[in-house]
Amino acid sequence: MLFRDVIGQGTAKARLIQEVHEGRIPHAQLICGPEGIGKIPLALAYARFICCANRKEADACGACPSCVKFNKLVHPDVHFVYPIISAKGKKDVCDDYIADWRRFVINNPYFSLSHWLNEISVENSQAIIYAKESDEIARKLSLKSSEGGYKFVILWLPEKMHPVCANKLLKLLEEPPGKTVFLLVSEAPDMILGTILSRAQRFNMKKIDEEDIAGTLENNYGIQPKESKAIARVANGNFIKALEAIHLNKDKQLFFDLFVSLMRLSYQRRIKELKQWSEQVAGLGRERQKSFLEYCQRMVRENFIYNLHNPDLIYMMPDEQNFAARFAPFINERNITGLMNEMSEAEKHVQKNVNVKMVFFDFSLKMIVLLKQ
C-alpha cells in the first residue's frame, strides 16, 4: 500500500509526508476515525514511506528492496498486532494468524473486525489482543533493526487489548527502544487506557469525501457515474459500505430482511413468529448480532429523517427507501428515542454475553409497544 493507493485523505497524507521530510516522526501515533476510512492503508503507506530507500517527494518508490517486502507485508522491521481468538494448539499471540493476516490485508485493505473474524472462521467469538502479546512485542523490539532503520508496531484496534497487555505496553511507550514507531489504529479511542492515550500523539482522520469514493468506484470497479455517486452518498465516507453496495453484501441483505421482518411482525403483534425471529438472529454469532443492531439503529434514524421530506439528508439504498416510503410514518418524535435506546441496550447485552435468545425476544416484544406510539 502506497500513499497513492489510499482513497482520498489528502490532508492526512500531506501532514504525514511533511513530518517525515522535517524529521518529526513521533514515537507513538494514535490514528483515530470511524470504520472504512482507510486508517490501516494510511498506516501501511506511512511506514513504507519512512522505510523506503529511494523515496520520492510524496510517496515511496515502490521498487526498492524495502518496498518489495512491503508488497507482501513481510518486512522484518514491521510487526503487526490485531485481535485474535484463542484456539487449541496455539499460543494466543498474533503470529499464530500472521499468514492469514498478510493474505487478508493484501487482498482487502479496507475491512472491518467482522470481515477479519470471518476470514479466520471465528465470527461467533469475541476477539481480543491477549496478555501474552505484550511480551511478544517486547521481545521483537529488543532485537536490532534488520535493515538499520526504523522498527514499527502497527497495532489495529488497541481498544481490544487485554488490560494486562495494555499496562505492559504502557512501559514500552514510556521508554521505547531507539527508532521505534508505534502506530495505534483505533475506532474507539475512548475505550483505550487513559495512560496510553496520554503517551501517543493523536491523529484524527475524517470520512472519505464522496467525490473520492465515486471516482474510485468508477476507475477501479467500472461503475457508471450516476450509480457511483448514489453509492458514494449512501456510503457516507465509509469505503467498506461502498464495496458492500457494489458486491451485494450478503450480510447487508440479511440485515435488511431481518429488520423488515421485525417491524412487520411487531406491528402485527405476531408473538409466535417473533420468537422464531429471535431464534434466527441468535444463530448469527455475536459480532454479526452487534452489526445487525447497529444497522437497525441506522435504519430507524434514516426513517425518522425520511419524514422530513428532504432528500439531501437521506442516506439509504433504493430497496431501503422503498420500504421507508411505507414504514417511515411509524417512526416519529413519540417513539424515536425509545426505539434507539432499546436497540442500544440490546447491543450492550450482546456485548456482555447475556443469553441472546432472551435479549432478542425481549427486544422484539418492546418493539410492539413502541411502534404503536
Q: What is the CATH number of the domain that holds 51?
A: 3.40.50.300
For 64-200, list the strands marked E by DSSP. Answer: 78-81, 151-156, 180-186
Question: Chain centroid to CA 373: how far?
Answer: 35
67-76, 82-91, 100-109, range with the lowest pLDDT: 82-91
| Domain extent at residue 214 | 207-247
243 and 192 in one domain?
Answer: no
Residues 132 and 161 in one domain: yes
pLDDT at 82 over 60: yes
Note the pLDDT of residue 137.
95
**pLDDT tens per residue, range 333-350:** 999 999 999 999 999 999
**Same domain, yes or no: 7 and 18:** yes
Nearest alpha-carbon partner for 184 in 29, 36, 77: 29
Nearest-angstrom CA–CA distance, 42 and 311: 33
Which residue, 229, 263, 261, is CA-closest to 245? 229
For position 123, what pLDDT does the model report? 61
Amino acid at 138: A
Cell 436497540 maps to which residue?
343
Same domain, 127 and 27: yes
- What Rg, from alpha-carbon coordinates, does the chain have? 22
The band of 86, judged by pLDDT with boundaries at 50, 70 and 90, is confident
Q: Residue 6 carries which DSSP code? A: S
Q: Do residues 20 and 139 share a domain?
A: yes
Q: E strand or H helix at 31, and its extent? A: strand 28-32
Same domain, 175 and 213: no
Asked whether residue 107 falls in the same domain as residue 74, the answer is yes
Distance, C-alpha 159 to centroid of its chain: 12
Q: Indicate the SS3 state at residue 53.
A: coil
* Adjacent-strand bridge partners of 203: 31
- For residue range 218-234, what is the model confidence (pLDDT) as tens digits? 999 888 888 888 889 88
Q: How many other C-beta atoms are found inside a 10 Å radius of the C-beta of residue 310?
A: 9
Largest CA distance in the chain: 69
Q: What's 295's domain CATH number?
A: 1.20.272
The single-letter code of the amino acid at 145 is S
Q: State whether 256 and 198 are in the same domain.
A: no
Helix axes 318-327, 286-306, angle to 10 degrees: 60
pLDDT at position 114: 87
End position of a domain, from candidates 217, 247, 277: 247
Residues 229, 261: one domain? no
Asked whether residue 230 falls in the same domain as residue 293, the answer is: no
Is residue 63 very low, low, confident or very high in pLDDT (cuts 50, 70, 90)?
A: very high
- DSSP letter at 29 equals E
- Kindly state whether residues 175 and 221 are assigned to the same domain: no
pLDDT, position 332: 92
Domain limit, last residue, from 195, 220, 247: 247
Q: Considering only CA atoms, which of 272, 336, 350, 266 is closest in space to residue 307?
A: 336
Condensed to tens digits (0 to 9), the pLDDT of residues 256-275 reads 999 999 999 999 999 999 99
Total count of domains within the chain: 3
Same domain for 181 and 44?
A: yes
Q: Which residues pair with 31 in a beta bridge?
A: 185, 203
